[in-house]
Structure 1
Amino acid sequence: MTNGAQVVVIGGGQAGLAAGYHLRRLGLEFVILDAQTTPGGAWQHAWESLRLFSPAAYSSLPGRLMPAQPSETYPDAQHVVDYLTEYEKRYELLVERPVRVLGVHRDGGFLRVETDSGTWRARAVISATGTWWRPFLPAVPGRAAFRGRQLHTVEYRSPADFAGQRVLVVGGGNSGAQIAADLADGTDPTWVTQRPPRFLADDIDGRVLFDVATARRRALDDGRTDLGGVASLGDIVAVPPVREARDRGLLTRRPMFTRLHSGGVEWPDGTRAEADAIIWCTGFRPALPHLAPLQLRGRRGHIGTDGTRAVDEPRLHLLGYGDWTGPASATLIGVGRPAREATREISGLLADRRAG
């Protein structure tokens, strides 16, 4: 069965909903295709203790402030799921789920979106699938030889799963720090990072990071000196659980090991540590296999963009994958502006086609 819409949005998480909000305001016909069975995007799969970097009022999608969570300055993941669920209903956003997109193809004046539930033909497509579904694991020598349990951030749930175990947490970003702090009381984890962890000042949260990222983008657009943006401030937001574990001396780190062996890891000086489990908090890559038929990747595997628009396919916009698709666009507070810009550009494209 073939369906039609002016715009197809791929992904029903925060970026897809922000796009839907602006498409609705512009009066464009659209549908959001979401592979999940229920609303909430990747937030419904997060670990139990995960907290936002910002208070609720500064973690909102366009048009609707996130309500505060009782007794919590920084809301947890379930609060975000509830907010996204209510947001979708409030703005009557048409989300088809579960629908898994298999590929996007050029089809004359249309883009053809092939799914496991039929085909859609659209004048424009917004890809908003995020990164959670494509975890990155580094190629560390001996990884296949390790007999213990290995899992990525996406598979971690709670310290109860590791009671009495020797756990290595690998990664010096926010996920690594939060999970190491989560495990600190019950398991005495070993926290391993490539370089000494850089904690942001305790008074810096996601709102400040968004402002810094936006200022950097404007500076670059104006040809001014790049001052480094968020990366110049540090790597880890000191949310309360991380701050508490750090101040109690529970977040001591070791440098990156050189290889794994069957029972654990080995450092450059030959010292070893035994481990029952390794949690790889080593980041993500954009989840874009559905765009492969368009053949947009360059020699380094990157899709060139101008803002959110794909340079070699102006009917396609990429939203929510990081700063290369809009300042702080992978965050709740940051995705609204690039979503607005993308939908306005699509509206102009459709108007030009009607006039032509």
Structure 2
Amino acid sequence: MGIVAVKNLLEEGFDVVGFERSSYSGGLWHFTEDEDTLSIIECEWADFGHTYPASYTDFPFPVGTPTFCTAKHVQDYLEAYVDHFHLRPHFRLSTVVTSISRDQDSGRWRVNIEEQPSEWFDKVVVATGPHIKPMMPAFEGADLFTGRLIHSKGFKKPEAFAGQRVVVVGLGNTGSDIADALVGHASNISISHHHGAVIMPRLLDGVPATSRISYRFIQLQGIINRWVPTLAEIVYNKAARQIMRDAFGEVDPAWRLDPALSVLVANPVVSDTLIANFRSKAISSITGIRRFTGGRRIELTSGETIEADAVICCTGYKNDFSLLDKEYDPSSTPSISWLKAPGSKDRPYPRLYQNVFSMTAPDSLAFLGCVWFVTGAFCLADIASMCIAQVWSGKASLPPQPEMQQWVDKQEKRICALAWRGAVIPATVPPSEWLSWADQTAGMGVGEHVGWGWKGWLFWWRERTLWRMVMDGPFTSVFWRLFPGRRKCWDGARAEIMRVNREVEERRAKAKLAEMSNDSKFSW
């Protein structure tokens, strides 16, 4: 997030400095064995999604990169991005920012740095991301446990748990990935969870499952959500369950995947191997942990007692804005409605306009990592930082304060309602609504060129093939750099969109041919 913020602000003529506490660029995608530093698990596949919508908007992954790539691919990609846009001179690595305050007279920001003199800046982007403080459950009797009790942040290599009985707490993407990684190493693996989950395959009909998401789908989703939200949710959940059944067959009640939380509250678990591991009993499903009773013994909420050598808590993170003075900390005033909701999990809730701009100093303070919906995080950070760059350069403007406050209040009400139903991600925003705002604010020209105006009709008339790919093909991040606008477009966007569409169609045809071949053999 910090990398793309520096790049987009430089592109608009700002003099930018990026501070990074680590000695490398790439954040959590740079593997480190330091258990106090968050990094990707060193296993074969990255929990990243596929590369089409996940890249930055003007720098796709190299041709030939696996559709679901490894963590090393992502690390190399980020390093290549930094070099391609000549960003290294603008970063100060191994530099720890201890606090940020604002001078009321000048409006400038004082950045205090560990073991170095403070420095002054006109504007600040907090791009620390959402993975700041690990959330550890408060287990009764935890001090009596003689095994290893850690947060997933401390899990680095499955070999460290060879021959051990391991309980993974939490049935989410991280819990699934860690449990899968432990197969073949740990002697016994259990996933402890309180509620069910929807398990989604990575591939459907030979292509990434998310390739079904198109720009037209996002627009229709926005319309349905606005006018018939209850019906929309029923349809989404039914479709997700059907995809799960088509991919994996019938679900054994012993796995406790039902009832699953709504896809509006909890992200589906994306895994090709978890169901197979449940089915083969390589991984077992158990209820939640009630308490530790001493030694290696654990009492479950079902009343059963088990023994474990290690417990790995995949219970997420919470954001932290304590670098800032309380006046500028967007979460400093607690939301009573949020804290009362069971799904808040005592996490801070930031009040930001469009989950990006400070409400107290929008002209000079913004945040990345507070916007989320199901798409690529790199792409989201790219778009959000383009909005920041356009507003601060004076090429775009924010609405009056009362209008911004109205949006913030509406967003808080929506998130609090979801938090009564499950542990919703506080950064969740309505995709179509947010992208519409971002398109106008960043000046990406999408609404003009694929809408109902004369530019939309002209694009449809002149570029019929490309128009179909844009509207109904797989949603690619480079789409946001295709059209001329205030932000810089990318000359390679057209070719990349066409390449991705060809690749997806070829894979679908290949999968269909293989299916027909198998059917033919079976009939014979």
Task: Give the structure-1-normalised TM-score.
Answer: 0.82
Identify if the C-alpha distance between structure 1 residues 100 and 265 changes in structure 2 by more than 3 Å, giving closer, same or farther.
same
- Ranges in structure 1 where 5+ consecutive residues have no aligned partner: 1-14
8 A contact 2:166–2:308 mirrored in 1: yes
Does residue 48 (structure 1) correspond to residue 97 (structure 2)? The answer is: no
Identify if the C-alpha distance between structure 1 residues 302 and 235 changes in structure 2 by more than 3 Å, giving closer, same or farther.
closer
1:254-284 deviation line (CA, Å, top 9, x unaligned): 1212112322321234321111111110001
What SS does structure 1 have at the residue aligned with 2:123?
strand
What SS does structure 2 have at the residue aligned with 1:118?
coil
Name the residue aligned to 2:67. 73
Shift, 1:214, TM fit: 6.5
8 A contact 2:357–2:367 mirrored in 1: yes
Amino acid at match of 1:291: L
Does residue 19 (structure 1) correspond to residue 5 (structure 2)? The answer is: yes
- Ranges in structure 2 where 5+ consecutive residues have no aligned partner: 31-38, 237-261, 336-347, 399-524
Amino acid at match of 1:191: I
Q: Output the CA distance in 2 between the equivalents of 1:340 and 1:131.
A: 19
CA RMSD of aligned residues (A): 3.2
Does residue 58 (structure 1) correspond to residue 53 (structure 2)? The answer is: yes
- 2:334 alignment partner, one of 289, 299, 323: 299
Name the residue aligned to 1:100. 96
1:106-146 deviation line (CA, Å, top 9, x unaligned): 11321111111332222211101113332111222222222
Alignment of 1:1-356 (within 5 A): 15-44=1-30, 45-49=39-43, 50-67=45-62, 72-93=66-87, 94-107=90-103, 108-116=106-114, 117-187=116-186, 188-200=188-200, 202=202, 203=204, 205=209, 225=229, 227=232, 231-232=263-264, 235-242=267-274, 244-246=276-278, 248-262=280-294, 263-296=296-329, 297-300=332-335, 301-307=348-354, 308-314=356-362, 315-323=364-372, 327=373, 331-348=377-394
Amino acid at match of 2:75: V
8 A contact 1:104–1:291 mirrored in 2: yes
Shift, 1:181, TM fit: 1.0
Q: Output the CA distance in 1 between the equivalents of 2:18 and 2:365.
A: 14
Q: Output the CA distance in 2 between the equivalents of 1:113 and 1:88.
A: 24
8 A contact 1:53–1:206 mirrored in 2: no
Larger deviation, residues 343-352 vs 279-288:
343-352
8 A contact 2:54–2:376 mirrored in 1: no
Q: Output the CA distance in 1 between the equivalents of 2:210 and 2:161.
A: 30
Identify if the C-alpha distance between structure 1 residues 170 and 264 changes in structure 2 by more than 3 Å, giving closer, same or farther.
same
1:142-199 deviation line (CA, Å, top 9, x unaligned): 2222221112111112221011111000011100011111112332211111212321
Q: Output the CA distance in 2 between the equivalents of 1:246 and 1:335.
A: 36
Q: Output the CA distance in 2 between the equivalents of 1:115 and 1:27.
A: 25
8 A contact 1:193–1:255 mirrored in 2: yes
Amino acid at match of 2:153: V
Amino acid at match of 2:324: L
Q: Output the CA distance in 1 between the equivalents of 2:112 and 2:214.
A: 35
Q: Output the CA distance in 2 between the equivalents of 1:61 and 1:92.
A: 15
Q: Output the CA distance in 2 between the equivalents of 1:233 and 1:303.
A: 18
Identical columns (%) = 22
Amino acid at match of 2:359: V
Q: Output the CA distance in 2 between the equivalents of 1:223 and 1:275.
A: 50
Amino acid at match of 1:289: S
Shift, 1:207, TM fit: 6.1
Shift, 1:289, TM fit: 2.3
Q: Which one scores higher on RCO, CA 8 angstroms, separation ≥ 6?
A: 1
User: What number of residue pairs does the alignment pair up?
Assistant: 334
Shift, 1:16, TM fit: 1.0
1:56-78 deviation line (CA, Å, top 9, x unaligned): 333211321122565x4311112
8 A contact 2:200–2:272 mirrored in 1: no
Task: Give the structure-2-normalised TM-score.
Answer: 0.57
8 A contact 1:53–1:205 mirrored in 2: no
Q: Output the CA distance in 1 between the equivalents of 2:178 and 2:98.
A: 33
8 A contact 1:168–1:278 mirrored in 2: yes
8 A contact 1:182–1:241 mirrored in 2: no
8 A contact 2:199–2:271 mirrored in 1: no
Q: Output the CA distance in 2 between the equivalents of 1:209 and 1:200.
A: 14
Q: Which structure dedicates a bigger proportion of its chain to strand?
A: 1
Identify if the C-alpha distance between structure 1 residues 238 and 129 changes in structure 2 by more than 3 Å, giving closer, same or farther.
same
8 A contact 1:190–1:253 mirrored in 2: yes
Identify if the C-alpha distance between structure 1 residues 118 and 86 changes in structure 2 by more than 3 Å, giving closer, same or farther.
farther
What SS does structure 2 have at the residue aligned with 1:190?
strand
What SS does structure 2 have at the residue aligned with 1:167?
strand
Amino acid at match of 1:92: H
Name the residue aligned to 1:6. none
8 A contact 1:110–1:124 mirrored in 2: yes
Identify if the C-alpha distance between structure 1 residues 218 and 36 changes in structure 2 by more than 3 Å, giving closer, same or farther.
farther
8 A contact 1:322–1:330 mirrored in 2: no
Identify if the C-alpha distance between structure 1 residues 205 and 261 changes in structure 2 by more than 3 Å, giving closer, same or farther.
farther
